[in-house]
Structure 1
Amino acid sequence: MLHKILNLATSNGFVKRTVLAHLNMSQYEIGPIGEILRHNLMTEWYYNIVFNKDVTVIMNNGDFTGTYEYLKAFCSDRLPFGIADIKKLKKSYSTDEIIEHYKKGRDNRNTSFKDLMRHEEDSLCNCTIFVPPSNSTRFFHQWQQQRRMWWRKFSAGPGRYSLTDIKKGDNNSQRVEIIVKYPWGSESLETITLGSHDRKLTNAQLEFQENKKTIHAHAIVSQINLTSMFMNSICDAFDETLVVNKARKLLRLHKKLAPFKISLAVSGADQSSTAELSDLAVYICRQLRTNHVSTLLLPSSNQLKLDAQFKQYDELGVPYTILLSDSTLKDGIVFLRNRETTLKEQVHVSQLVTYIDQLLKNY
């Protein structure tokens, strides 16, 4: 199944194979369509972490200690508050290590999402929340549930996400992981730790006054590997069902994550009507893009049969497709096809942009 997903992702530009000729093997890296997906993932992570309703969180500007000191003063020396950042870690691997990663990915033996991708650079999405020690345990458990709900919110199969048991670490730290289960095994997506962090802050910097007492802030750290988050989004969204004895492969990407929210399909009876409908498709596409809706209009939309167009858009994970037919030229009605149900509803061209805006507005 994993190889089916990789083949689909490769053929649709989410990932691309990189041939390592000197080692006679290949690895994967993020493709051009995948870059849009990765950007959307980072945006949703940013909104969830930085605009958290309960805690003031700001992005680190590269100097964690300086950002911490500023935020501490900004919050009038009152807890809680947090710092988020995206760290790029460059790594070097020996030839033997690269070969071992390749074998794991090829054989599905203890497969990790990170084993499938190039390893020269990893991006880690981090968030460190500083909380009073009296509330740290409660906040730790609350944070776990909130983060698990975030993963489930974007999932086509929410039931596959779970929390591991809490594990004890050094200096009385506690660690829990959010994992996802697939037919080929489980993958760790996010690590949440209470009581330790990799930033060098002194005891004096961690001191706060609470009810005339001096307390030392506790740290709750969330860490996500961006490559794992990216690969999980594709694997989670993959679906294959039988429709009239034919396999229908598609990506059920959440509409907030999908690289393209809307696509356009054209079905004209003759060359003349097809040309008019193509012009109308360009007009609609321009309107949607002006309204900041990521819209896909391909030259093949007036060359391929409808089934072939729908197949391509489903594999790209496009949630909705606008179908323009000969009747559209008479009454101004288009059909809006839902990727999930394949059902089509009628919408007038004059109301299309407003209606789509409402569809995409909510999660």
Structure 2
Amino acid sequence: MQKILQICERHSLAKPIFSENSLYCMKFGPVGELLKKFLCHEWLHANVISSEIGVFPHYVSRSDAGHTIHDLKEAYEYVRNLNSGQLPFGVVVETPNLCADKYFEKQQHILDESEKYFYPKKCTFLKTFMFVAPSKATHFYYQWQRHRKMWWRKFSACPSRFVLSDVQNNEKNQSVHIQANFPWGSQNVETLSYWTTADQDLAIRTVFEAKDGRKKVTPHIVESTLSVERAVFTFLCDAYDETAFAGLPREVMRFHRKLAPFKLSFSASASSSSAGEELNQLAVYLTKQTRDSGISTLLLPDLVKKSLESQFVRNDELGIPYTAVLNDTSLKNGIITLRNRDTTLKEQVHISKLREYMEKILKNY
């Protein structure tokens, strides 16, 4: 865990902020903010943009709103009307700066030193409420469990790490956790619940009535909740790896290319200062091209001042999936070498095809 925290602080990914011997919040640096933004984007894409049913976002600015069924009445009525009153449909809610004590019941009872970094007091929660006809709700709940588990696995460097817990039943709902298994133990990273509005008062039940075909029914609700801070730190721990290189261990952050703060970086080696200046100008031109295509690209001023190996080490620690390597030959024939972080294999690409090639790579999951 200390190695993970050190690499996070060294490269401005994340830093835990403590208050009175407990974790108050997880502070993200410039690189960590990019990781967080990409993670939230992929969550929104999976739950809203690519959803098979109509799901709509509902954002709240107050930290004490948006996390109970009572707070959803206005959003629910709008989405229901937009959907002609027909089930199923859903609402996703982002609740920033929420005090997480009541959600993270382990906060005051953590024994393992490594666990505390998953339980900050201040969190941003991402919640999904799916409103489903009673006759189809159980089947939908099991499908939703699989959907959410596969989402975590899709972005993991070790997909088998993410599993479903045993189902927990009580009088009001049924719940299951998605867990991440680490060497120090298992962490609950998302909670999925299944419940109804039947136990609410008549006024609430009337508000939430909808149609299942021609029948009026009170929908059953499939809810999922995750903390952005916990999700980001989970993927930081998941991505960390040590690999042997030339007989020595090398730290690598194996971020999925969709989550990686930077998708591409440039490295160069030049035989002279004049060639170095030309390579730097070429890198600036190519960086503008890739950024114009929406590809997060890192270009640093020490492009030709550091050895290629030291640049590879830094890029691997930053979790950058691809490094474009420029040299004197690139100025003559336009051929650059694209290095893959995970395999360290290199392939040749013409500079005129780099943007198109990167777009194809990043388009696929």
Query: Given the two structures, how large is their TM-score scaled by the length of structure 2?
Result: 0.89
- Look up the match of 2:46: 48
Query: Counterparts of 2:45 and 2:138 in 1: how far apart (Å)?
Result: 24
- Look up the match of 1:13: 12
- Look up the match of 2:156: 155
Q: Does 1:291 align with 2:293?
A: yes
Pairing 1:202-213 to 2, within 5 Å after superposition: 202-210=204-212, 213=215
- Look up the match of 1:77: 85
Pick closer, same or farther for the CA change 1:19–1:67 going to 2, 3 Å: closer
- Look up the match of 1:186: 186
Instruction: Check whether the contact 2:16–2:117 (CA below 8 A) recurs between aligned residues.
Output: no
Instruction: Check whether the contact 1:175–1:193 (CA below 8 A) recurs between aligned residues.
Output: yes
Q: Does 1:123 align with 2:124?
A: yes
1:299 match: secondary structure: coil
Instruction: Check whether the contact 1:64–1:199 (CA below 8 A) recurs between aligned residues.
Output: no
Pairing 1:256-271 to 2, within 5 Å after superposition: 256-271=258-273
- Look up the match of 1:252: 254
Amino acid at match of 2:157: A
Pairing 1:24-63 to 2, within 5 Å after superposition: 28-62=26-60
Amino acid at match of 1:222: S
Query: Counterparts of 2:22 and 2:85 in 1: how far apart (Å)?
Result: 57
Pick closer, same or farther for the CA change 1:330–1:212 going to 2, 3 Å: closer
Query: Counterparts of 2:226 and 2:169 in 1: how far apart (Å)?
Result: 20
Instruction: Check whether the contact 2:196–2:219 (CA below 8 A) recurs between aligned residues.
Output: no
Could you tell which deviates more after superposition, 223-232 or 208-217?
208-217
Q: Deviations over 1:120-172 (max 9, x none)?
A: x211100000001101100000000011011100011001110011110232x
Pairing 1:86-101 to 2, within 5 Å after superposition: 86-91=94-99
Q: Does 1:68 align with 2:68?
A: no
Give 5+ residue unaligned stretches, structure 2: 61-70
Query: Counterparts of 1:8 and 1:40 in 2: how far apart (Å)?
Result: 20
Pick closer, same or farther for the CA change 1:288–1:158 going to 2, 3 Å: same
Instruction: Check whether the contact 2:98–2:125 (CA below 8 A) recurs between aligned residues.
Output: no
Query: Counterparts of 1:10 and 1:196 in 2: how far apart (Å)?
Result: 44
The count of residues paired between Structure 1 and Structure 2 equals 349
Q: Give how far 1:271 is off.
A: 1.5
Q: Give how far 1:113 is off.
A: 3.6
Instruction: Check whether the contact 2:178–2:191 (CA below 8 A) recurs between aligned residues.
Output: yes
2:123 match: secondary structure: strand
Q: Give how far 1:274 is off.
A: 1.1
Pick closer, same or farther for the CA change 1:196–1:239 going to 2, 3 Å: farther
Could you tell which deviates more after superposition, 204-213 or 56-65?
204-213
Q: Deviations over 1:311-335 (max 9, x none)?
A: 0001101010000011111211100
2:52 match: secondary structure: coil
Query: Given the two structures, how large is their TM-score scaled by the length of structure 1?
Result: 0.89
Query: Counterparts of 2:264 and 2:200 in 1: how far apart (Å)?
Result: 43
Pick closer, same or farther for the CA change 1:86–1:28 going to 2, 3 Å: closer
1:13 match: secondary structure: coil
* CA RMSD across the alignment: 2.6
Pick closer, same or farther for the CA change 1:42–1:184 going to 2, 3 Å: same
Query: Counterparts of 1:58 and 1:24 in 2: how far apart (Å)?
Result: 36
Instruction: Check whether the contact 1:113–1:227 (CA below 8 A) recurs between aligned residues.
Output: no
Q: Deviations over 1:256-300 (max 9, x none)?
A: 111111000010112221111111111111111112111100112
Q: Does 1:136 align with 2:140?
A: no
Query: Counterparts of 1:225 and 1:140 in 2: how far apart (Å)?
Result: 20
Query: Counterparts of 2:153 and 2:231 in 1: how far apart (Å)?
Result: 13
Query: Counterparts of 2:210 and 2:352 in 1: how far apart (Å)?
Result: 59
Could you tell which deviates more after superposition, 194-203 or 299-308?
194-203
Q: Deviations over 1:53-88 (max 9, x none)?
A: 321000114462111011111111110000001112
- Look up the match of 2:320: 318
Instruction: Check whether the contact 2:26–2:229 (CA below 8 A) recurs between aligned residues.
Output: no
